[in-house]
Chain A
Amino acid sequence: MWDQILSGIALAWTPAAMAATLGGLALGILVGAIPGLTASITVAILTPITFFLPPTVGIGLLLGIYKGAVYGGSIPAVLINTPGTPAAAATALDGNMLAKKGEARSALQMSLYASVFGDLFATFILFAVAAPLANFAVKFSSPEYTLLFIGSLTLIATVSGSDPRKGMLAATLGALVGCIGLDPMSGSQRFVFGIPDLMGGITLVPLLIGMFALSEVLDQIGNSRRKREKVAVLQTSGPSLTWSQFRQSVPTMVRSSSIGAFIGALPGLGAEIACWVCYGVAKRRSAQPELFGKGALEGVAAAESGNNATVPATLIPMLVFGIPGDVVTAVLLGAFIAQGLTPGPMLFINNGGIIYSLYALLVVTNIALIFFGLVAIRMFARVAEIPVGFVLSCVVVMCFAGAYSINSSGFDLVVMVIGGVVGLLMRRTNVPIPPFIIAVLLAPLLESNLRQTLAFSEGSLTIFATRPIAGALLGLMLVVVGLYLGRLFLARRRRAAPN
């Protein structure tokens, strides 16, 4: 193990890997600070470029963007009361109130230090948990993976968006799209309709770029026709954060980082949910809950440490089981596969050096985030003035260049544009996009494991209950589903009650 750690540090400590990761971090902060651009969009657009780079350079770039964007969203949340990314929504509550009271500097500094704290905390959890979990996961076989994929997809579908049924709809449609092409076991054509380009299936990255980036562009083009209020950018002024203010928030940050890391490790949840859960828990546990929503530094600390802690934690299910927890990790999974690295327990045995190099890069970006963040806070007034119309049109050009570069295929561009229109329709009808994308990615794995299991058991489903680990997973899934249905039943009864 120590050999792998040392070789990982050596791989990370190269000028190219460092430059790509730190460049990604700076770019991530910039796009996170521009409302409308998110980590998912940026990572999706730049992923094709990473296919042409060494693994530590390409994946380091994407990790830097991911981490930078989650932090960057907090700056406009504080200064213009508009979260740059959905993960910074809870930060706006107290951060903007503090800015209105003339304490923007301390709010932004608390947001930055809490982000670094949460991120570092979860990086160590990733380091401590992933490898032992991978050792355990080596014992998994087809039945266990089948249950794991079904459980993860169900969880992602039910927690994404406001209506679990629409999440299930998105996941099922995504799995069907994942079936397009040649059957991996028999080579038969499925849903090809005589189109030769469909024989190899739908390429994930163009579809993903279309559904996230192009749909966002079309959405914003529609929004540009509505009257918008001019946004006032508050000044980065007021007193700096004191050591005693920071120290008072440390227990909140430890608690929120733990919750954020736990939520991040569960597929489908992620930073958007973590920020609200951590904010709610911090308010309940606070000695002065009445200050929350009126300008509590503790509120900023809770939301930011919680949402940033999810970033390293989402890598746990992705690296150990090959299950992406959110859209960004789905893209990262695609980048890993394109680099010839198949996430799963064997990755830790065969390519441990690369895994530890990514851990090292995560730690480096944490430290660098302090300096980059302080610069970004000073520069935000200029970032807020970047005309969104120009940014969007350049984003479209990058989308086309990125999607084309994967296979030099015009069909990929068609898939991307269709994905953009479908993504817009899904946004407008509240059908969540993440379960769709993750299902496209997981469907072939789920199918091959399910069919192998049933072929082995001659069609008997009892195999899922008779194997010890599979039985335990099935039991856990049944308990979770039972609790969920029980909660739904109680909620309906409460609503139906006269008072």
Chain B
Amino acid sequence: MTEETDVAGESTTNAYDTLIAALSAVVAIGVVWIAARDIAGGSIDTWSDPRSPAFFPFVLGIVLFIVAGAIALWPRPAQPATARKPELAATAAIVAGAVLLAGYVYGFFALGFVTASALAIIGLALLAGERRWPILLPLAIVFPLVLKIVAERALAILLPKGLFW
């Protein structure tokens, strides 16, 4: 993360902020485009009419573009940067965690709630640095099972069935 400082000692721009502003501007243009073309059918009279479904998204698109411009152009008030410098191991763990969550969504239906949850508990705990297998294995089996029984018996919430349960 790069942060520049001008002569008055005030933080000016920041690489992340510039990227956020650019992405927001693209989204804003996209929103205005969709509002004008797809929702309102390309008629200017329609999207400027408060009764049109395109009216509110169009207004929001304009506001978003202005906010993006403000982030890109105005100097940021001096403040301590809370964003952390990316570390390779931490980033890899986060990406692995996100992939595991996506896999859990798939497994939720393919394997059933209990089996997919047991695998997710083991995977996430390992990613979080836990290696205590005597606790981890019983927890991975008992917790989803208890949750499924409570959900189905006490709250009448049906969770997907699959392998084993």
Instruction: Give A159-203 as 1s and 0s: 1 = Cβ < 8 Å from B's Cβ atoms.
Output: 000110110110011011001000101101111000000000000
Cβ contact of A393, chosen from B50, B125, B157, cutoff 8 A: B125
Cβ contact of B83, chosen from A190, A428, A491, cutoff 8 A: A428
Looking at A168, A217, A387, A390, the one whose CB has the most chain B CB atoms below 10 A away is A390
Known: A179-B57, A394-B139, A413-B105. A424 touches B94 (CB 8 A): yes
A377 to B78 CA separation, bound complex (whole angstroms): 40
24 contacts between A and B (CB under 8 A): A163-B76, A169-B20, A169-B64, A173-B24, A173-B27, A188-B39, A218-B94, A219-B94, A224-B129, A387-B132, A390-B130, A393-B122, A394-B121, A396-B104, A397-B147, A400-B105, A400-B120, A401-B147, A401-B157, A414-B105, A417-B101, A420-B101, A451-B51, A496-B8
Cβ contact of B120, chosen from A176, A397, A404, A491, cutoff 8 A: A397
A49 to B113 CA separation, bound complex (whole angstroms): 17
Q: Are B31 and A176 in contact (CB under 8 A)?
A: yes
Report the minimal beta-carbon distance from A71 to chain B, rounded to whole angstroms.
26
Report the minimal beta-carbon distance from A32 to chain B, rounded to whole angstroms.
21
Q: Which residue of A lies closest to B96 (CB)?
A: A221
- Whether B26 sits at the interface, judged by CB under 8 Å, is no
Interfacial residues of chain A within 399-414, with CB under 8 A of chain B in the complex: 400-401, 404-405, 408, 410, 413-414
Q: Are A397 and B93 in contact (CB under 8 A)?
A: no
Q: Are A169 and B71 in contact (CB under 8 A)?
A: yes
- In the complex, which residues of chain A have a beta carbon less than 8 angstroms from the beta carbon of B91? 222
- In the complex, which residues of chain B have a beta carbon less than 8 angstroms from the beta carbon of A397? 117, 120-121, 143-144, 147
Known: A168-B67, A222-B94, A400-B104. A429 touches B117 (CB 8 A): no
Q: Are A224 and B127 in contact (CB under 8 A)?
A: yes
A110 to B97 CA separation, bound complex (whole angstroms): 41
* Interface residues of B, Cβ cutoff 8 Å to A: 8-10, 16-17, 20, 24, 27, 31, 34, 39, 49-57, 60-61, 63-64, 67-68, 70-71, 74, 76-79, 82-84, 87, 89-91, 93-94, 96-98, 101-102, 104-105, 108-109, 113, 117, 120-125, 127-130, 132, 135-136, 139-140, 143-144, 147, 151, 155-160
- Whether A136 sits at the interface, judged by CB under 8 Å, is no
Interfacial residues of chain A within 363-412, with CB under 8 A of chain B in the complex: 387-390, 392-394, 396-398, 400-401, 404-405, 408, 410
Q: Are B144 and A420 in contact (CB under 8 A)?
A: no
Q: Which residue of A lies closest to B132 (CB)?
A: A387
Q: Are A400 and B117 in contact (CB under 8 A)?
A: yes
A392 to B109 CA separation, bound complex (whole angstroms): 22
Known: A176-B31, A186-B53, A226-B87. A389 touches B129 (CB 8 A): yes
Looking at B63, B128, B144, B147, the one whose CB has the most chain A CB atoms below 10 A away is B128
Q: Which residue of B lies closest to A52 (CB)?
A: B155
Report the minimal beta-carbon distance from B106 to chain A, rounded to whole angstroms.
9
- In the complex, which residues of chain A have a beta carbon less than 8 angstroms from the beta carbon of B82? 162, 430
Q: Which residue of A lies closest to B136 (CB)?
A: A390
Residues of chain A at interface, number, CB under 8 A: 68
- In the complex, which residues of chain A have a beta carbon less than 8 angstroms from the beta carbon of B135? 387, 390
A459 to B82 CA separation, bound complex (whole angstroms): 44
Q: Which residue of B lies closest to A451 (CB)?
A: B50
Classify the interface of chain B: helix, strand, loop or mixed: helix
Q: Are B51 and A393 in contact (CB under 8 A)?
A: no
- In the complex, which residues of chain B have a beta carbon less than 8 angstroms from the beta carbon of A222? 90-91, 93-94, 97
- In the complex, which residues of chain B have a beta carbon less than 8 angstroms from the beta carbon of A185? 51, 53
Q: Are B101 and A214 in contact (CB under 8 A)?
A: yes
Q: Are B84 and A191 in contact (CB under 8 A)?
A: no
Report the minimal beta-carbon distance from B17 to chain A, rounded to whole angstroms.
8
- In the complex, which residues of chain A have a beta carbon less than 8 angstroms from the beta carbon of B132? 387
- In the complex, which residues of chain A have a beta carbon less than 8 angstroms from the beta carbon of B74? 165
Known: A52-B157, A394-B139. A451 touches B84 (CB 8 A): no
Report the minimal beta-carbon distance from B91 to chain A, rounded to whole angstroms.
7
Q: Are A389 and B130 in contact (CB under 8 A)?
A: yes
A185 to B129 CA separation, bound complex (whole angstroms): 51
Q: Are B34 and A389 in contact (CB under 8 A)?
A: no
A10 to B46 CA separation, bound complex (whole angstroms): 54
- Whether A281 sits at the interface, judged by CB under 8 Å, is no
- In the complex, which residues of chain A have a beta carbon less than 8 angstroms from the beta carbon of B108? 400, 404, 410, 413
Q: Are A495 and B121 in contact (CB under 8 A)?
A: no
- Whether A447 sits at the interface, judged by CB under 8 Å, is yes
- In the complex, which residues of chain A have a beta carbon less than 8 angstroms from the beta carbon of B120? 393, 396-397, 400
Q: Are B98 and A218 in contact (CB under 8 A)?
A: yes
Looking at A165, A188, A224, the one whose CB has the most chain B CB atoms below 10 A away is A165
